[in-house]
Every structure is written in structure tokens, then in C-alpha cells.
Amino acid sequence: MATTSATTFSIGSTVSFGSRGNPLPQSKPFVARFTSPNSLASFSGLKAATYVNCESESSFFGKESSAALRGSFVPKAQKANQKSQNGLQPVASYKVAILGAAGGIGQPLALLIKMSPLVSALNLYDIANVKGVAADLSHCNTPSQVQDFTGASELGNCLKGVNVVVIPAGVPRKPGMTRDDLFNINANIVKTLVEAVADNCPDAFIHIISNPVNSTVPIAAEVLKQKGVYDPKKLFGVTTLDVVRANTFVAQKKNLKLIDVDVPVVGGHAGITILPLLSKTKPSVNFTNEEVEQLTVRIQNAGTEVVEAKAGAGSATLSMAYAAARFVESSLRALDGDGDVYECSFVQSDLTDLPFFASRIKLGRKGIETLIPSDLSGLSEYEEKALEALKPELKASIEKGIAFVQKQPVTA
């Protein structure tokens, strides 16, 4: 291990720590420096550095979130310097479990989460082949301690005391396979795993990635209800990939700087239930009717685009892992007290007449602090029609998930 104190969490963003407080305007990279030369002696990061640098060009966070992140560091830095000359030290204090960690999404997701300076323990679970993944990751010199758990007999121990559970377990889509085709296999997997979560860490944030999310999130909710531990504020369907894709495609189409682009995506997480609200794009952009239709269809079918490009060798694993890691990092920031964390997610909702709906939410220490209804007001005519068109399909998927659990009561 190098003797130089060092830390950087850099996945499109850079977070490092050093020697004195010096906030800069939000439009510029932020640097916070502290008095102690050994402020990060306990963190052996990705490159030698003794300063904190949050570049505004972060790709994990949008422009507003980057500004919030900068703003959250400055007062902490100033407060720390007032109290002590020992500097601000990031505390890795959260425990994350990935269920399905040996899979195509699970492995890159585990690597990205291993890079987070907020994670103290990373528990990896799968039915096979997880020991090698854990051994490989454990060689990365970041704070979190990696442990592996294999098979149903070790699932409970994997979940003890966990703060965030991420569930990418299940089979991926193959060419010609719809998300509905995944249902019978993945529904049972999610049901079994969420039962274990309910028994071992009922207060944890639960991130559902397993498709079809429009059905697996209601499945998880029903399981938790039957177990008597359902907290709608802590159950999330991870739809971040739809936002990531929308931001990317719009930036490419309009030749915009990617960090500036923010497109809210509402509805669900499959086909026409995915509705990017291009009229709400920040910064404000003018689209022709043809551009709106083309972009909307591409965002809705982006998963198929990857499946076909891989020609049967897999689905959207890397971009999904990236998007899921972004949502995990947002959850950890919220748990750590950041008061300005917003993401889109498929959650229990009263914004429409559907019981679950994807929309922008504000995250806090106890989960969802509030839903953001403003995105659904003042929609374009195209978006209004698309919103009404997606509701029957989304309603059917939600009801399918609920019915699945009601027909198969959970294990006591």
C-alpha cells in the first residue's frame, strides 16, 4: 500500500480530499482543502491525491446534483476546520448487498459500488461463481470490505445489517424475447430474495433491477406487505437507465454538453410505458415533431438496440450497471444527510390513478421524502397522448405482479 494519503472516486466525477476550504462558483470545478496532510490516511484510493475535487463535468450526477454535492462539501469542510485542525475525513459507513453479483449486471455493478468512499462493506450473493468475483474485487484498494455468499443457506447472513440491497438477479433478455417473457422466471427469483430481505434487513433501501420492473416492484411490495414490513418509501424500481439514455441521446442529437442535459422520464420501465418528457428537458431545447417521435421511440427501444447489437451474447449489462451505481450512490448520499438528492424511480405513487409510477423523487435518510408532481403538468400534446396510451399496459403489468404473489403466499 502506498504511504501517501489518497482518495478519488472517479466515474465521470472526481472526489478527492486535501488541505483547506476554498469554495468556487458552481459553474467551476470545486476544490475543498483541509489543514491536515494525513486527512485521508485511512482511505487508499484510485490515485494519489491530497485534495477534494468535484468536477462539474461529473457524469454520475446531473448539473444540479453536482452543484448540490459541491455545496454539501463546503459547509462540512468549513465546519470541520472550525472544530479541528485534523481535517475532514470521509467515513465509509454503509453496508450494501448485491443479490445476483456474479451476473452480467452484478459484476460491473459490484466494481462501481466498490469504488464508492461511502461503502464500508460490500456483500456479494449469488447461487454460484461469486467467490471469484469477491476475490477479484477485494484486491481493489478502496475502503469497503468484500464478502461472498453462495446459495440459499448463506443468503440470510449476506443481508444482516445491510443499508441498501440491490437486486439485479434473474435471466437477461435474449433476441426476440420480450420483458414479459422474463416474468415467470424472474418473478420467482425476486419473490424469494425479497422474502429474505424482509426477514433480515426490513429497514434497508431495496433497489429492484430484475425485469420486468413494472411487475417485479409490485411483487416486492406484496411480499413485504405479507411479511408486515412494507415501507413504500424504501422500495425502488431502478429506472435510472432510461434517464441516462435520454440524456445521452438528446445531448448527441442537439450537440449539447452532456453534463448540462437533464430529461425526466416517467411511466414505467418497458416499451411504451417509458415516457421521456422532452418538453421538460433542461436546458430548454426545441424539438421538431419528428425529433420528438424519433427520440422517444429510440429511448423506449434502447434495450432492444443493445440486445440486437450483442447478437444473442447478452443484454444491456454495462449501461445498466452504470445507471444502477448512480442510483446507489444517490441513495448513499441521501442516507448520509445530503438534502438535495433527486432521481427518477418506479415507486408507489399517487401522481396518477396507477398504484406505481416512475417519476422524479426527492431522496432523504428515510427514503422517499416527496414525489415531484410538477413534471406531469404542462405536458405537450404528444406527451399527454403518450401518457394516456401507456397506462393500460402499465396497469396490466402491475396487476400481474400483485396477482403472482397473491396466488403464491410468501413463506412465513
Mean pLDDT of 348-377: 97
Closest Cα to residue 146, out of 199, 102, 200, 190?
Answer: 102
**pLDDT number for residue 365:** 97
* pLDDT tens column, 286-333: 999 999 999 999 999 999 999 899 987 888 999 999 999 999 999 999
The three three-digit cell numbers of residue 116, written as one number: 464508492
Q: Evaluate whether residue 273 is within a structural domain.
A: yes
Q: Evaluate whether residue 60 is within a structural domain.
A: no
Of 412 and 176, more confident: 176
Range of the domain at 324: 94-407
Q: Which of the residue ranges 3-17, 60-74, 103-117, 360-374 would you say has the lowest mean pLDDT?
A: 3-17
In this prediction, residue 20 has a pLDDT band, given cuts at 50, 70 and 90, of very low
CATH code, domain with 380? 3.90.110.10
In this prediction, residue 90 has a pLDDT band, given cuts at 50, 70 and 90, of low
DSSP-derived letter for residue 376 is G
**pLDDT number for residue 236:** 98
Q: Evaluate whether residue 196 is within a structural domain.
A: yes
Q: Side chain identity at 365, as an amino acid letter? A: R
Residue 82: pLDDT over 90? no
Q: Side chain identity at 398, as an amino acid letter? A: I
**pLDDT number for residue 182:** 75
* pLDDT tens column, 214-244: 999 999 999 999 999 999 999 999 999 999 9
Q: Evaluate whether residue 39 is within a structural domain.
A: no
Q: Evaluate whether residue 280 is within a structural domain.
A: yes
**pLDDT number for residue 314:** 84
Contact 35, 19 (CB under 8 A): yes
Listing DSSP states for 173-196 in one string gives P-TT--TGGGHHHHHHHHHHHHHH
DSSP-derived letter for residue 282 is B
The three three-digit cell numbers of residue 341, written as one number: 438528492
Q: Evaluate whether residue 320 is within a structural domain.
A: yes
Prior bond of 143 cis (ω within 30°): no
**pLDDT number for residue 207:** 98
Domains: count for the chain = 1
Closest Cα to residue 51, out of 66, 61, 60, 40?
Answer: 40
**Known catalytic residues?**
269
**pLDDT number for residue 89:** 52
Q: How far apart are the first and last CA of the chain?
A: 47
Mean pLDDT of the chain: 83
Prior bond of 232 cis (ω within 30°): no
* pLDDT tens column, 240-279: 999 999 999 999 999 999 999 999 999 999 999 999 999 9
